[in-house]
Structures are given as C-alpha cells and as structure tokens.
Amino acid sequence: MKLIKEFKQFLLRGNVVDLAIAVVIGAAFGAVVTATVKDLITPLIAAVFGKQDFSALKFTVNSSTFHYGDFINALVTFITIAAVVFFLIIKPINSLIARSRKQPPADPTTRKCPECLSEISIDAKRCAHCTSLVPPVAK
C-alpha cells in the first residue's frame, strides 16, 4: 500500500504534471507549425521556384545511389519551420514581453548641488559636501 501511495504522490507532483502538459501542448503546437509550413509556406516556395518536391533528385556512383533530393527536402523543411517559428512566434512574443516589461521612469531621488555638483538627496536643504544652502525642489 505504501508503494502505491508513493507512486500516486510522484504522479501528482507539480513538475510531473507540468511536464506532461508541456509535452501535450508541444505536440499540438508542432502540428500547427507543421501544417502552416506544409499548407501555406511550401506552396508559396513552389510558386516562386517552380518545384515543391526534390525527392526525385539523385545521382549514381558505382551502383550506389545518392538521394540528395531528400536531403534538400529535409533542409528546406527545417529552414522553413525555423523561420516560421522565429518570425511568427518568437519575434511577436519577445515584442509583447518587452512591451509589458517597460516601466515608467522612477521619480528621481537625488539631485546635483548647485555649488559643488555632488549628488544630494532631493529633499536636502543643505549640501552634505560643501554645506551650502540648497533651494527646495519645485514639485
């Protein structure tokens, strides 16, 4: 019984559940990215370059066949997926995060002494460095 209880505790720990959710979301997201590339981006490439599938490209040396077209397909797919993820997901999300992190500038807490130009508190009436009287800051 103790073993089953420990197993249940393990399964219900936060990091295991979070990991399971991440795998499911990642798989669904991968399907969306793959469909975007396959159904939207690849036909655009085919419209521009006139060829969508390079798998028929090959050459033979001493009865060994090199299917370099498959490699080109895989390379084009990888670069296209990377570009879609970068330009349609990473850049917009980074922009949103940067915009949300912008904070208004904080009110200054110090100012320069008009006599010796040392940093003093904004509420100071006398400079701690040169002891001259400092006019109050208009608020």
Q: Indicate whether 53 and 118 sit together in one domain.
A: no
Q: Indicate whether 13 and 55 sit together in one domain.
A: yes
Mean pLDDT of the chain: 84
Q: Indicate whether 110 and 57 sit together in one domain.
A: no
Q: In the chain, at which residue ranges do the beta strands (DSSP E only) sit?
A: 59-61, 64-66, 110-112, 119-121
Residue 13 burial by Cβ neighbours in a 10 Å radius (0-12, 13-18, 19+): exposed
Residue with tokens 């939207």: 40
CB 100 within 8 A of CB 93: no
Q: Indicate whether 91 and 127 sit together in one domain.
A: no
**Which residue stretches of the chain have pLDDT < 70?**
14, 51-52, 139
Structural domain including 137 reads 106-139
pLDDT tens string 31-58: 888 888 778 877 887 788 776 677 788 8
Domain count for the chain? 2
What does the pLDDT read at residue 2? 85
Q: Indicate whether 65 and 16 sit together in one domain.
A: yes
Residue with tokens 């904004």: 122
Q: Indicate whether 73 and 136 sit together in one domain.
A: no
Q: From residue 51, how far is each of 35, 55, 56, 76, 82 by CA, in Å?
A: 19, 11, 11, 12, 20
Q: Indicate whether 82 and 116 sit together in one domain.
A: no
What does the pLDDT read at residue 139? 65
CATH code of residue 76? 1.10.1200.120
Model-wide pTM > 0.75: no
